[in-house]
Amino acid sequence: MRALDIEKLDVDLGGRPVLREVQLHLDRGELVGLLGPNGAGKTTLLRAILALIRTRHGRVLVEGRPARPGRSGIGYVPQRHEFTWDFPISVEQAVLSGRTGRIGLLRRPAVADWRAVGDALDRVQLSGLRRRPVGELSGGQRQRVLVARALALAPSILLLDEPFTGLDMPTQELLGNLFSSLAQEGNAVLMTTHDLLAAVDACSRLVLLNGRVIADGPPADLQDARLWTRTFGVSATSPLMKLVKVA
């Protein structure tokens, strides 16, 4: 059984078509990069997988069952600006908040919940900052908090929305290695990113998206310049094409 199956998915937002006829699957053990320009529908696709938006047509199956809001088997790492960093909580409290749906709003965290938080902080190398207020963290540390918050659920599927944006190279390397390790451990990882080199280096498959899937395959199989010009709407002389050739 595949971890994720998306079949002929159509999504409209504000009466405007955003996704059309999207076909995508994700198996356990895969790290897949979702690439496309701004407005291509990448974040919309992640939200459709999470069942946070209404779809016009098609279906999303998570481990063989229809997607539904709050599904505990999916960990989601949003873009950093979507989290309220001036809220007066510590790093470990922020990570614990990822388990709220499992704990319940009126129940106290159990030993197993705090253990999951500790394990997640260890994986992103933030154990030493667990008591620090989140508002005092650097951009890279904040991104690692969001990753730990998702990992605290011990998900089988991890969705990452632009996890490398604005990060220094050491943090990018740390997270890239972590995502690769999670895939090797049998998790399914889907990552949107504008960082082409990071995607080619880390991902077993790339999906080129611009309203619909333009191409899907291992990086070595996506050498045709026409696929990239069609996806990103650039000319064959664009600097992007030089980056594609280097990658």
Give residue 122's pLDDT.
97
Q: Is the pLDDT of residue 231 over 90?
A: yes
135-166 residue pLDDT tens:
999 999 999 999 999 999 999 999 999 999 88
Q: Which CATH architecture has domain 4-73+155-246?
A: 3-Layer(aba) Sandwich (3.40)
Reported confidence tier of residue 246, pLDDT bands at 50, 70, 90? low
Q: Is the pLDDT of residue 200 over 90?
A: no
The pLDDT > 70 percentage for the chain reads 98
Task: Specify the domain boundaries for CATH 3.40.50.300 within the chain.
Answer: 4-73+155-246
Give residue 244's pLDDT.
74
Q: Is the pLDDT of residue 189 over 90?
A: yes
pTM (2 d.p.): 0.93
Give the mean model confidence (pLDDT) for residues 202-229: 93
Give residue 223's pLDDT.
86
Reported confidence tier of residue 96, pLDDT bands at 50, 70, 90? very high
| DSSP annotation string for the chain | --SEEEEEEEEEETTEEEEEEEEEEE-TT-EEEEE--TTSSHHHHHHHHTT-S--SEEEEEETTEE--TT-TTEEEE--GGGS-TTSS-BHHHHHHGGGHHHH-TTS---HHHHHHHHHHHHHTT-GGGTTSBGGG--HHHHHHHHHHHHHTT--SEEEEESTTTT--HHHHHHHHHHHHHHHHTT-EEEEE-S-HHHHHHH-SEEEEESSSEEEEE-GGG---HHHHHHHHT--TTSHHHHHHHH-
Q: What is the mean pLDDT of the chain?
A: 91
Q: Is the pLDDT of residue 225 over 90?
A: no
Reported confidence tier of residue 237, pLDDT bands at 50, 70, 90? confident
Q: Is the pLDDT of residue 214 over 90?
A: yes
Give the mean model confidence (pLDDT) for residues 6-13: 96
